[in-house]
Amino acid sequence: MKLVCFPYSGASGIVYAQWRPYLPSDWALVCIDCPGHGMRSHEALLNNHEELVDDLYNTYKDEFLGPLVLFGHSLGALIAFDIARRLLNEGKDLKLLLVSGRRAPHISSRFPPIHNLDDDTFLKALNDRYGGIPDELFLNKNLREIFIPPLRADIGISEQYHPTTQLPLSCPLGAFLAEHDHSVTLEETLPWMCYSQYPQNVIAIQGNHINCITNPISIRAILQVITNTVEF
């Protein structure tokens, strides 16, 4: 089985690399990189959600073969959701979709948009909302030139996202909410269950918006949901 993981805004698939030791030996871990991120940092950034989903669906088409579980965190949850719909429409063997750290697709944000703010205001707003912005990024011009463009592109995609349909998926869907993630609430997460014919639960995991997917206890909890839900 393949576990395909989609990262949050500004991140690359490498954030999931530390999941490998926790996976059963017969599972494959696929860590997705968006254009302009990680191993694809030489490629042009995309700032349109549909174009991004098209790119990832075509770039990773060989990885979407065989039994699959998709996991997406924050922006990655939206990407995984739309990839899941395409996979199911094409009859692919998608066993489960898991999302984390993101309000349901049709729920409006409680926060004002920030992707068009100047660099300093943008970084401060990001840090206030999600945390995890290192001090060096505020102080080092060279680092800012590297990290702000992908962050800004991804946040723009996230802020401008609108679902194309609310038809439920024909695979199970589960959601996670970190105990100290102040960017999303339980009330905003629960409506994800409307997007599946086989809704699972919203499960609390340890951590904040950034470190919840690298916390060993949270990783084990996420993987336990997979083993409890998917028939092997």
Q: What confidence score (pLDDT) does residue 160 get?
A: 97
Q: Which two tokens stand for residue 230?
A: 């998917």
Express each pLDDT in 158-180 by its tens digit.
Answer: 999 999 888 999 999 999 999 99
Phi-psi region of 208 (alpha: psi -120 to 50; beta: other; left: phi over 0): beta
Model confidence pLDDT, tens digit, residues 44-62: 999 999 999 999 999 999 9
Q: Is residue 9 part of a domain?
A: yes
pLDDT at 8: 98
Low-confidence ranges of the chain (pLDDT < 50): none
Q: Cα(117)–Cα(129) distance, rounded to whole angstroms?
A: 14
pLDDT at 231: 82
pLDDT for 29: 98
For residue 117, is it within any domain? no
Q: Establish if 75 belongs to a structural domain.
A: yes
In a domain, 155, yes or no: no
> Domain containing 187: what range?
2-110+165-229
**How many domains is the chain partitioned into structurally?**
1
Contacts of 154 (CB under 8 A, 6+ apart): 8, 9, 10, 34, 75
224 located within any domain: yes
Residue 129 covered by a domain:
no
Residue 127 lies in a domain: no
Q: What pLDDT is attached to residue 182?
A: 95
Q: Residue 203's beta-bridge partner residues? A: 176
State phi, psi for 79 to the nearest 5 degrees. -65, -45
Within 10 angstroms of residue 160's Cβ, the number of other Cβ atoms is 12
Task: Find the CATH number of the domain harbouring 80.
Answer: 3.40.50.1820
